[in-house]
């Protein structure tokens, strides 16, 4: 079935110093699929996104990705032979070696689909397959906040808590494609530990995700009726992590307490990971950033996270570990996917020579 070409926010950049070859990146999400062309230095040459339309199934989305990339190339000064390889990031769980997306929570129609090979056939290019969070972590490592670091961890705080670990210029995928699941490390092993969305107790995601922040706030709101949040949820929409963040930025005591506790939970998680991996830097990405580096609340949140990590870490880690906000935002995924395609391409060249 031919699909209407629904692309928006097409953004073609043709920097004079584009370094060929190009690499295509595809970042599949439950709502949108972001695609782009990235040059050999990691500069974004062109990018767009289109709705996932998951009711039409994965093959339709793959075909759409090809159509959208055709359009981007047509509008750019480049052509398909300039594109050497592609990278693909999707939500897990997945089987990376077999190129399969297994049972994604947000993409029910995509179960057990051979997504890597389908994209490779559609683009007629080799495709490197990665967890979407690992792809984003690679994007930050390659050209984002981590570009001056040799090993990095990205923790994404959103509906869930995801992450990617980059060591030796590669994501840590693990033996079963379940490596880097930083949201599911245990930070509370008491009987009172919170239940995680995955069905186990005490995981970081059950404390620091957007939904966990909402749940924790709701539990204390019933006792603390003087919070601005009581008034806000009485007036309009259901409570959200953004409302908690905005209330904290406005000085609301309860919201400030929730933000501070979130920083402590996240700091505990980072402390565990720092002593296992000892990376050069951690970066915080995702929608839950409490305003990020540009705001007083965001910087305060980061300071609290750093203080919690320092308090519980070996001296070298306490003194030297960098913890900052990520920089690429929603572009990290397709840029990183393209970068992983580039790495595989470079390996093949090295093997041939
Ligand atoms: Zn979990």
For residue 104, what pLDDT is reported? 87
Say whether both 26 and 80 belong to one domain.
Answer: yes
**Distance from C-alpha of 77 to C-alpha of 135, rounded to nearest angstrom:** 27
114 alpha carbon to ligand 1 midpoint, in Å?
26
269 alpha carbon to ligand 1 midpoint, in Å?
13
**Distance from C-alpha of 42 to C-alpha of 105, rounded to nearest angstrom:** 30
255 alpha carbon to ligand 1 midpoint, in Å?
24
Say whether both 109 and 152 belong to one domain.
Answer: no
- Copy the structure tokens of residue 164: 């990617």
318 alpha carbon to ligand 1 midpoint, in Å?
27
Say whether both 176 and 119 belong to one domain.
Answer: no
Q: For the residues 128-140, what does the mean pLDDT come to? A: 97
Could you tell me if 125 and 84 are in contact, meaning their C-beta atoms sit under 8 angstroms apart?
yes
Q: State how many domains the chain has.
A: 2
Helix or strand run (H / E) with residue 163: strand 161-167
Position 6 pLDDT exceeds 70: no
For residue 16, what pLDDT is reported? 73
184 alpha carbon to ligand 1 midpoint, in Å?
4
Say whether both 85 and 154 belong to one domain.
Answer: no
205 alpha carbon to ligand 1 midpoint, in Å?
6
**Distance from C-alpha of 103 to C-alpha of 110, rounded to nearest angstrom:** 7
94 alpha carbon to ligand 1 midpoint, in Å?
16
Q: Which of 101, 130, 159 is the last residue of a domain?
A: 130
251 alpha carbon to ligand 1 midpoint, in Å?
31
| C-alpha count within 13 angstroms, C-beta hemisphere, residue 31 | 2
Q: For the residues 221-232, what does the mean pLDDT come to? A: 81
Say whether both 230 and 289 belong to one domain.
Answer: yes
Say whether both 81 and 169 belong to one domain.
Answer: no
Position 11 pLDDT exceeds 80: no
Domain carrying residue 309: 145-327
Say whether both 74 and 12 belong to one domain.
Answer: yes
Say whether both 124 and 149 belong to one domain.
Answer: no
68 alpha carbon to ligand 1 midpoint, in Å?
35
| C-alpha count within 13 angstroms, C-beta hemisphere, residue 301 | 28
110 alpha carbon to ligand 1 midpoint, in Å?
22
Bridge partners (DSSP) of residue 178 are none
261 alpha carbon to ligand 1 midpoint, in Å?
19
Q: For the residues 130-151, what does the mean pLDDT come to? A: 97
CA torsion sign for 317, 321, 323, 326 is negative
Say whether both 169 and 306 belong to one domain.
Answer: yes
**What is the CATH classification number for the domain harbouring 28?**
3.30.420.40
This prediction has a pTM of: 0.94
For residue 105, what pLDDT is reported? 83
Where residue 287 falls (left for φ over 0; alpha for ψ -120 to 50; beta otherwise) is alpha
Q: For the residues 12-18, what does the mean pLDDT come to? A: 68
174 alpha carbon to ligand 1 midpoint, in Å?
17
How many helices (DSSP H) and strands (DSSP E) are in the chain? 11, 13
Q: pLDDT, tens digit, for every residue of 280-293?
A: 999 999 999 999 99
Residue 336 lies in a domain: no
Residue 107 lies in a domain: yes
Residue 272 lies in a domain: yes
Distances (CA, A) of 211 to 33, 72, 110, 302: 23, 36, 24, 20
Residue 342 lies in a domain: no
128 alpha carbon to ligand 1 midpoint, in Å?
27
183 alpha carbon to ligand 1 midpoint, in Å?
6
Say whether both 220 and 180 belong to one domain.
Answer: yes
Q: pLDDT, tens digit, for every residue of 245-255?
A: 999 999 999 99
Say whether both 124 and 157 belong to one domain.
Answer: no
- Copy the structure tokens of residue 92: 């897990």
75 alpha carbon to ligand 1 midpoint, in Å?
43
Residue 275 lies in a domain: yes
193 alpha carbon to ligand 1 midpoint, in Å?
12
185 alpha carbon to ligand 1 midpoint, in Å?
7
Position 95 pLDDT exceeds 60: yes
297 alpha carbon to ligand 1 midpoint, in Å?
27
What rounded mean pLDDT belongs to the chain?
A: 93
CA gyration radius, the chain: 21
Residue 340 lies in a domain: no
Position 68 pLDDT exceeds 90: yes
Tally of CB atoms within 10 A around 62: 22
58 alpha carbon to ligand 1 midpoint, in Å?
26
Say whether both 116 and 164 belong to one domain.
Answer: no
- Copy the structure tokens of residue 142: 């390659």
Residue 277 lies in a domain: yes
76 alpha carbon to ligand 1 midpoint, in Å?
43
207 alpha carbon to ligand 1 midpoint, in Å?
10
86 alpha carbon to ligand 1 midpoint, in Å?
31
194 alpha carbon to ligand 1 midpoint, in Å?
10
Could you tell me if 254 and 217 are in contact, meaning their C-beta atoms sit under 8 angstroms apart?
yes
Work out the burial of residue 140: count CB atoms within 10 Å of its CB; fewer than 13 is exposed, 13-18 middle, 19 or more buried. Answer: buried
């Amino acid at each position: 079935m031919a699909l209407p070409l629904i692309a928006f926010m097409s953004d073609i950049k043709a920097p004079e110093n584009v370094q060929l070859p190009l690499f295509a990146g595809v970042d599949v999400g439950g709502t949108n699929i972001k695609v782009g062309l990235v040059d050999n230095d990691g500069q974004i040459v062109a990018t767009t996104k289109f709705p996932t339309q998951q009711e039409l199934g994965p093959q339709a989305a793959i075909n759409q990705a090809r159509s959208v990339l055709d359009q981007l190339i047509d509008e750019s000064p480049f052509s398909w032979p300039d594109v050497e390889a592609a990278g693909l990031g999707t939500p897990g769980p997945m089987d990376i070696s077999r190129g399969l997306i297994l049972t994604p929570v947000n993409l029910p129609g995509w179960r057990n689909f051979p997504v890597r090979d389908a994209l490779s056939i559609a683009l007629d290019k080799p495709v490197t397959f990665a967890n979407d969070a690992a792809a984003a972590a690679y994007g930050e490592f390659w050209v984002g906040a981590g570009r001056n670091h040799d090993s990095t961890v990205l923790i994404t705080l959103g509906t869930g808590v995801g992450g990617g670990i980059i060591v030796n210029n590669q994501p840590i995928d693990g033996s079963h494609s379940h490596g880097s699941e930083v949201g599911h490390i245990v930070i509370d092993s008491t009987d009172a530990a919170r239940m995680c969305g995955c069905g186990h107790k005490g995981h970081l995601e059950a404390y620091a995700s957007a939904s966990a922040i909402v749940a924790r706030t709701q539990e204390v709101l019933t006792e603390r009726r003087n919070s601005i949040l009581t008034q806000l949820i009485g007036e309009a929409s259901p409570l959200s992590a953004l409302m908690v963040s905005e209330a904290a930025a406005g000085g609301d005591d309860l919201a400030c307490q929730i933000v501070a506790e979130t920083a402590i939970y996240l700091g505990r998680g980072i402390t565990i990971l720092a002593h296992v991996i000892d990376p050069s830097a951690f970066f915080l990405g995702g929608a839950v950033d409490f305003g990020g580096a540009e705001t007083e609340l965001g910087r305060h949140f980061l300071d609290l996270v750093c203080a919690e990590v320092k308090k519980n870490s070996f001296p070298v880690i306490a003194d030297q570990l960098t913890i900052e906000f990520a920089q690429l935002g929603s572009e990290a995924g397709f840029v990183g996917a393209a970068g992983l395609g580039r790495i595989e391409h470079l390996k093949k060249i090295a093997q041939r020579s």
